[in-house]
Structure 1
Amino acid sequence: MKSSEMLSLRNPHVRISVGVTLGLLVLTALLGFIVLPYAQREADLAGLWDVICRAAGLPRDAAPAPDRPAAAPTSKVVLTAATLAKPSPQSIGRGATLAQRCAMCHGPTGISRADFPNLAGQYGAVVYKQLQDFRSGARVNAVMSPFAANLSDQDMVDLAAYYAYLPRLPAYHPEPQQIPTRIVVYGAPTRGIAPCGACHGSLDNKTGSPWLEGQSAVYLKAQLEAFASGHRRNDISAQMRNIARAMTPQEIEEAAGYYASQPVETIRAAE
């Protein structure tokens, strides 16, 4: 048989091959350009032409996409070594006046008699950042969010300066002193957990990280659990959320208990 006759459509093998090839081509086009685009539930397509354009990578302006809930706000506060540096006496005085509204929860001297955080001697950058986050919605609390909503930036600077100026005093109800636990001193490197002291003192202090000695164990445990669950999300770069999620319930108890039991040095954090 001549080669020209072998490639002729009169050859039944050629006709079968061509038919199968065309059939596969049509089936592939139907699946890729019509069936699969329609199967995408999130797609909002106005008609067949929009389906074909979407499959070809050329989406058309069709009906508007349905509204989606906005992403939860996260902290956008930028802290540097110069943040709140060298507060003036006038700023501290204004902060003392504003702090009278905080005394019910945080105590008249910045030491809470309940399970609220002690603020006396706390780093100014910490107080400032948390107030900013409460106002922006990056951190939510039934009491603090409405309070911070009415504060100006200068009010926050003044409050931060005042609490940083106060001397650190012994906690009102300290826990019996405990020895350092492994999670506090060494962390858990295999799970990506740095030592607590790397940011919160003892080893080093990271700008914006609070000192924790003498804080309420109930408060500390609640905050770690809130970070772990994602309910609290104002940690920049999700650093505390990642750490808290990797911690076991026992490690959370140990860390909270350890810091609550530590004696507080009577010093000014601003010095």
Structure 2
Amino acid sequence: MKDPGMLSLRDPYVRTSVALTVGLLVLTALVGFVVLPYAQGEMKFAGMWDVICRAAGLPRDAAPTSTQAATAPTSKVVLTAATLTRPDPEAIGRGATLAQRCAMCHGPTGISRADVPNLAGQFGAAVYKQLQDFQSGARVNAVMSPFAANLSDQDMVDLAAYYASLPRLPAYHPEPQRQPTRIVVYGAPTRGIAPCGACHGSLDTKTGSPWLEGQSAAYLKAQLEALASGHRHNDINAQMRNIARAMTPREIDEAARYYAAQPVETVNAAP
């Protein structure tokens, strides 16, 4: 008679071990992919599949929320690591002349007291991309769209070079003993959100991504909300729209306040 072996399913101990292992795997999957995601009160899910995808670190469907958003133009700008990295002095000079038209909103030194972007020290590629998007209609603003409409490509290069040459506001986070803003420093891997600094300059810089330190909290919050709703749609490959949709309102507010933090004396000294 043939020996069934030590791992035969005829052995009651083997059957019991397999059953316990399978049961443990099922229980772990239910807890990790269903129970724990639902326990996060601030999260809203469209259904069971959405719960499982989010728990696995997959972003929600980035489909536009309306037919109008689906047909809206998106950014066609192609950026490389070499884009606008070494502007010549003449371009900076021409950009300084053109920037006089921008001073009313963005400040004479690129630092504004209004809830508009501070452009001083901004990455040249980021300024160039946004100007191109305003001109093409990929991004729409009542003030910037008409301004960008008549700019030549060289004008945009010059403005980007000028603003990139100005000293930027420094990072200012004076209370290191406090728990850091998790969404900025660590992201949320289970929801497909990378740390903000991975693209925006604190940890690494992705070409075309803007420097966020010192920007207005109201402006940053408004842009994240516009990306989340699909009202703004000029991010390449919908990367920021996917991230903004996955963020909770609290995380959006915390990220905006984190980047907006500046010393009082710096804010008061702004023109």
Normalised to the residue count of structure 1, the TM-score between the two structures is 0.68
Within-5 A mapping of 1:1-271: 71-169=71-169, 180-261=180-261
Q: Number of paired residues? A: 195
Distance 1:137 1:176, change over 3 A: farther
Distance in structure 2 (CA, Å) of the matches to 1:204 and 1:71: 33
SS state of the match for residue 81, structure 1?
A: coil
Relative contact order: is structure 1 or structure 2 higher (C-alpha 8 Å, sep ≥ 6)?
2
Corresponding residue of 1:269: none
Q: Deviations over 1:204-254 (max 9, x none)?
A: 110011111111000000000000000000000000000000100000000
Q: Deviations over 1:155-201 (max 9, x none)?
A: 00000000001111469xx9986853111111111111111111012
Task: State whether residues 121 and 166 of structure 1, in contact with CA within 8 Å, keep that contact through their aligned partners in structure 2.
Answer: yes
Distance in structure 2 (CA, Å) of the matches to 1:77 and 1:186: 29
Corresponding residue of 1:53: none
TM-superposed deviation, 1:85: 2.7
Gaps of 5+ in 2: 1-66, 267-271
Distance in structure 2 (CA, Å) of the matches to 1:123 and 1:202: 13
Distance in structure 2 (CA, Å) of the matches to 1:230 and 1:262: 30
Task: State whether residues 177 and 262 of structure 1, in contact with CA within 8 Å, keep that contact through their aligned partners in structure 2.
Answer: no
Task: State whether residues 170 and 213 of structure 2, in contact with CA within 8 Å, keep that contact through their aligned partners in structure 1.
Answer: no
Bigger drift between 178-187 and 226-235 goes to: 178-187
Task: State whether residues 169 and 213 of structure 2, in contact with CA within 8 Å, keep that contact through their aligned partners in structure 1.
Answer: no
Task: State whether residues 134 and 141 of structure 1, in contact with CA within 8 Å, keep that contact through their aligned partners in structure 2.
Answer: yes
Corresponding residue of 1:50: none
Gaps of 5+ in 1: 1-67, 267-271
Distance in structure 1 (CA, Å) of the matches to 2:170 and 2:259: 13
Distance in structure 2 (CA, Å) of the matches to 1:262 and 1:159: 25
Distance in structure 2 (CA, Å) of the matches to 1:176 and 1:146: 40
Task: State whether residues 105 and 114 of structure 1, in contact with CA within 8 Å, keep that contact through their aligned partners in structure 2.
Answer: yes
**Runs of 4+ residues over 3 Å off in structure 1:** 174-179
Identity level (%):
86
Distance in structure 2 (CA, Å) of the matches to 1:124 and 1:247: 28
Distance 1:176 1:225, change over 3 A: farther
Task: State whether residues 129 and 208 of structure 2, in contact with CA within 8 Å, keep that contact through their aligned partners in structure 1.
Answer: yes
Normalised to the residue count of structure 2, the TM-score between the two structures is 0.68
Q: What value does the CA root-mean-square deviation take over the aligned residues?
A: 2.2
Corresponding residue of 2:55: none
Distance in structure 2 (CA, Å) of the matches to 1:262 and 1:238: 30
